[in-house]
Amino acid sequence: MLERQLPAADLREVPRRARAKIIEKCLNWGLLKRDVQERLQVTERGKVTAQMGISIDTCLNLIKWMDLCDPLRVSELEILVAAALTEDAKAHPYSAA
């Protein structure tokens, strides 16, 4: 089967599009923000994500889950289970997968 060759300009464009998509996702979910000069700034949420070494998708999944929870009724065990079910946790070398 013949594979279609992409022009070099298209290959260079792929990472730029991917970066733009990631930046947009981070801006939408509050991991990044723009200052008055339109420069990107890391938010506290973004710093915690980076410090914990979790992926953006894991962070966003946990944020979505927390938005659905009643903070007065969620237990520490439920938080641990939610974190343990993320892709990052499953990929950890010490996970029980």
Instruction: Calculate mean pLDDT across residues 75-82.
Output: 92
Reported as a single tens digit per residue, the pLDDT across 11-57 is: 456 688 888 888 899 999 999 999 999 999 999 999 999 898 888 88
Domain contains 33: yes
The whole-angstrom separation of Cα 5 and Cα 19 is 22
pTM of the model: 0.67
Task: Indicate whether 8 belongs to any domain.
Answer: no
Domain encompassing residue 27 = 14-91
Report if residue 29 sits inside a domain.
yes
H/E stretch holding 72 reads none
Please check whether residue 31 lies inside any domain of the structure: yes
Q: Is residue 56 part of a domain?
A: yes
Residue 7 is assigned to a structural domain of this protein: no
Q: Is residue 97 part of a domain?
A: no
- Within a domain: residue 42? yes
User: Domain tally for the chain?
Assistant: 1
* DSSP 8-state symbol, 7: P
